[in-house]
Structure 1
Amino acid sequence: MIASLTFQQSQKLYGMTRIQFVFPAIVMGMVLTVAVSAADVQSSTTTTPSSDSRSLVDAVEAGRTDALDSLNEVSVKQRQPDGMTALHWAVRHGKSDWVTAIIDEGAEVDAVTDYSISPLAIACENGDATIAQILLSAGASPDLTIAGKVTCLMLAARGGDVDVIDTLLRQGADVNAKQRSGQTALMWAAAAGHADAIDRLIAGGANVNESLRSGFTPMMFACRNGHIEAAMRLLDHGVDISAAMEPKNTSGRNPRKGMTALMLAVESGHFDLALRLVGRGADPNDQSSEFAPLHALAWVRRPQVGDTPEGDPPPQIHGSVSSLEFAAKLIDAGADVNLKLRRGKAPGKARFNTRGATPFLMASQTCDLPYMQLLLDHGADPMITNHDDCTALMVAAGVGVHHVGEHPGTIDEVRQAVQWLVELGLDINHVDKNGETAMHGAAYRCFPEIVRLVAKLGADPEIWNHKNRHGWSPLTIAKGYRPGSFKPDPPTIQAVMEVGKITDEDAPTERGWQG
């Protein structure tokens, strides 16, 4: 049973991931446990025509000292209702002498249960190299697969059992065999963070650059899960630190095209690993995935909420480096604090265009004052606008909010960010290329308190009481003419009419933007 690959943490991940993007939930241990549990129940409740012939299986299952008293060529082939045999149970309990005795009596070494579990699979799951060798010497196939075409080598790799790995490789196990979704033993070892297992598998001929349709490689699995030593070991074996993911599908929680090991580590909250990657040559200003690390920190620290990939929870931060410490260290390592994004997704109606955005603009969009202050302290220019000439003040007020209540920023946080940006000298009456103003932003958020604050800070109704390029004024936005929610917000409607001294009859009929 192998869960499909996703990405989150996204990142946006995916998760990866913020998402969830993406480590596979490898649960073969659960399969084995299910087999054992089912046998526990069924062996105690199910009867067969010959209870004597089943006594060996039951005795071995129970681990009785007299278990082998009924050993004969018939009893060793008896199966419990779920397919478990005496050999399966002897392997499960790690009793190598019982395993040898049962095999000598003629047990089938490659017998599989109804769950496709073989004795060798159990030995590899348990990390028992001694029993694995006994089974292989008795003729067990090293490439016999279980459910999902999972090989015994994959089970051993996930457990990091180098002795079992060596045993399987000596017996000719296919080191590059793929399970149903294309994963290899090296991917399993990397995902679990077993550096020594990685060495053994690569020495045995494993392909370090094998890639899935999702774009995941062994290196990406290691970085997605924050395994520093595993990632460093893969780099030692020649993995390109700048290699980018090329997923066949980038929709939903799949990774973005161009994701690098560094960006995957950052968006997954593994800042210690990210700094190690920079130390090994990763570019802190790389934009191959459309974003650079300092930009990504904005949503890693403060993601949206909701059912979309952007609404996935923030990643759990592992290691000793906080997100702000990471940002400072990354800037010291050469990250450009005023780096403008070269590309950006088509923003759509009321969306914030990330093209031309700086880390400070992205942090302002989430009203993340601590991050904004850190960037300012390290030389960020708060006056830089995006490709649409949208300012940090405007996005803090709410320009770009397309789902009411799902974007970061409480009323107090938005208030503090807006006031601070005005104190820095940003123009409260700025109009961008889309005809948006800070007052439009406050209306998008449906925060009447921010509507009144923007007015108090000097927003001029003669400037903001106009339709933007989509045909919406702050009043019509408050009435529900906005993406994500078509419900009117009476408190915001009242606030806009109050501060603008306008009525419905005074609402603008002409667009107030040019171009």
Structure 2
Amino acid sequence: VIDKLYQLGAAPSKGFWVGLLNQATRKGETALMAASKAGHVATVRKLLEYGSDVNGTSISGNTALHLACAKGLPQVAEVLIDGGAHVAMAAADGCTPLLRAATSTSTSTLKLLLTRLNQKDIDARDKEGFSALHLAAKTGKVGALTALLDHGMDVGMKRSGASNADGSETPLISAVRAGQTDAVALLLGYKADVEQRTGGRTPLGWAASEGKMRVARLLVDIGGADLLAIDKKTGRVPRQLAEACGHIQTSQLLSKMARGEWLQLRPEDQCSQPSHEMALAHVPPAPHILRDRGNKEAW
């Protein structure tokens, strides 16, 4: 169809048809963008051959490459890149094609982009300060996380350009707050710092305050998270944060886990635990202390 239209329009001029090819919808999307996000590889090639603007942008600043990457279409993305698409161009929200690919279902698209970008562009952030690693963590894209980490991205990289409360947010905390258990487990496997705080709160504190029970268990069982880490703003330990936020089951789980952890200590180490920390975690004092106080019932 495109060939026939072009042949019919040869008389007016090639420029006329180039202009027609680049006509946009109300959202600013051209025929090339429509073909790209639909995955029509042959049509994309033909439109580029006839002069479609490969780096034209929609109202939201997306190029055809952004749209192909968001849909996880590696073949289309490769044709666009070979046709001159800018691989590090940012849309209105600050997202580059790599950041779009980080939340898609195709790891192949992301891997393709990694071979065409320098490290600075790989570490690019959106306007909220999130990197591709943060976005993959938030959306639970473990394939993208693995590809990015294996390519050398820092598992502990912090969110940039955010408020003081969020400026230290790591991909682990992003995954924790989104309740992405698979992403949390993967990041812990890559030795993510389980005690790195955001807004004065550890990942376990965030899991507790938002009622993410499965995530909380992973942080403790796999990451060895501190069950008595005190929130710097509220002065509460994770169990208390869960209770204060209405997540009673999470609070009970954390209390049980803290008690089990304490029982594994030697008697002399149990005695060394500050009494206020034990009380906050609902952990009983050592048995011999209770006996000395004549309170056998409490144990």
Shorter-chain TM band: 0.7 to 0.9
- Residue 103, structure 1, aligned to residue 2, structure 2: no
- Residue 197, structure 1, aligned to residue 76, structure 2: no
The equivalent of 2:54 in structure 1 is 142
Q: Which runs of 4+ in 1 moved over 6 A?
A: none
Match of 2:127 among 208, 213, 223: 213
Q: CA RMSD in A?
A: 2.6
Q: Give 1:91-240 correspondences, 5 Å limit.
A: 98-106=1-9, 107-108=17-18, 110-115=21-26, 116-205=28-117, 207-240=121-154
Alpha-carbon deviation of 1:248?
3.9
TM-score by length of 1: 0.47
Contact 2:166 2:198 in 1 (8 A): no
The equivalent of 2:227 in structure 1 is 337
Alpha-carbon deviation of 1:379?
2.7
Contact 2:158 2:169 in 1 (8 A): yes
* Whole-angstrom distance in 2 between the partners of 1:150 and 1:367: 41
* Whole-angstrom distance in 2 between the partners of 1:146 and 1:261: 30
Contact 1:244 1:288 in 2 (8 A): no
* Whole-angstrom distance in 2 between the partners of 1:329 and 1:261: 15
* Whole-angstrom distance in 1 between the partners of 2:252 and 2:22: 65
The equivalent of 1:361 in structure 2 is 240
Contact 2:139 2:178 in 1 (8 A): yes
Higher relative contact order at CA 8 Å, sep ≥6: structure 1 or structure 2?
A: 1
Q: From the superposition, tell whether residues 372 and 150 of structure 1 become closer, same or farther in structure 2 (CA, over 3 Å).
A: closer
Alpha-carbon deviation of 1:289?
4.4
Q: From the superposition, tell whether residues 117 and 361 of structure 1 become closer, same or farther in structure 2 (CA, over 3 Å).
A: closer
Alpha-carbon deviation of 1:365?
2.2
* Whole-angstrom distance in 2 between the partners of 1:155 and 1:229: 20
Alpha-carbon deviation of 1:132?
0.4
Structure 2 unmatched runs, 5+: 10-16, 263-273, 286-299
Amino acid at match of 1:281: K
Contact 1:193 1:222 in 2 (8 A): no
Contact 1:295 1:362 in 2 (8 A): yes
Alpha-carbon deviation of 1:148?
2.3
Contact 1:295 1:359 in 2 (8 A): yes
Amino acid at match of 1:358: V
Match of 1:376 among 237, 255, 268: 255
Alpha-carbon deviation of 1:114?
4.7
Alpha-carbon deviation of 1:424?
6.3
Amino acid at match of 1:279: G
Contact 2:210 2:247 in 1 (8 A): no
- Secondary structure of 2:122's counterpart equals coil
> How many equivalent pairs are there?
260
Q: From the superposition, tell whether residues 175 and 371 of structure 1 become closer, same or farther in structure 2 (CA, over 3 Å).
A: same
TM-score by length of 2: 0.78
CA displacement 1:382-413 (0-9 Å, x = unmatched): 95369xxxx759xxxxxxxxxxxxxxxxxxxx
- Residue 297, structure 1, aligned to residue 211, structure 2: no
* Whole-angstrom distance in 1 between the partners of 2:213 and 2:188: 16
Alpha-carbon deviation of 1:267?
0.4
- Residue 264, structure 1, aligned to residue 156, structure 2: no
Q: Looking at secondary structure, tell me which structure has more helix per residue.
A: 2
* Whole-angstrom distance in 1 between the partners of 2:208 and 2:176: 11
Amino acid at match of 2:36: C
Match of 1:327 among 193, 216, 220: 216
Q: From the superposition, tell whether residues 149 and 372 of structure 1 become closer, same or farther in structure 2 (CA, over 3 Å).
A: closer
Contact 1:186 1:201 in 2 (8 A): yes
Alpha-carbon deviation of 1:359?
1.4
* Whole-angstrom distance in 1 between the partners of 2:94 and 2:149: 22
Amino acid at match of 1:259: E
Contact 1:199 1:233 in 2 (8 A): yes
Alpha-carbon deviation of 1:239?
1.1
Larger Rg: 1
Structure 1 unmatched runs, 5+: 1-97, 302-322, 345-352, 394-420, 426-515
Q: Work out the percentage of aligned pairs sharing the same amino acid.
A: 23
Contact 2:175 2:184 in 1 (8 A): yes
Alpha-carbon deviation of 1:220?
1.3
CA displacement 1:172-226 (0-9 Å, x = unmatched): 1100111123211111111224311111112122622101331111111111211
* Whole-angstrom distance in 1 between the partners of 2:175 and 2:25: 40
* Whole-angstrom distance in 2 between the partners of 1:228 and 1:289: 26
Q: From the superposition, tell whether residues 100 and 329 of structure 1 become closer, same or farther in structure 2 (CA, over 3 Å).
A: same
Q: From the superposition, tell whether residues 232 and 133 of structure 1 become closer, same or farther in structure 2 (CA, over 3 Å).
A: same
* Whole-angstrom distance in 2 between the partners of 1:243 and 1:289: 16
- Secondary structure of 2:3's counterpart equals helix
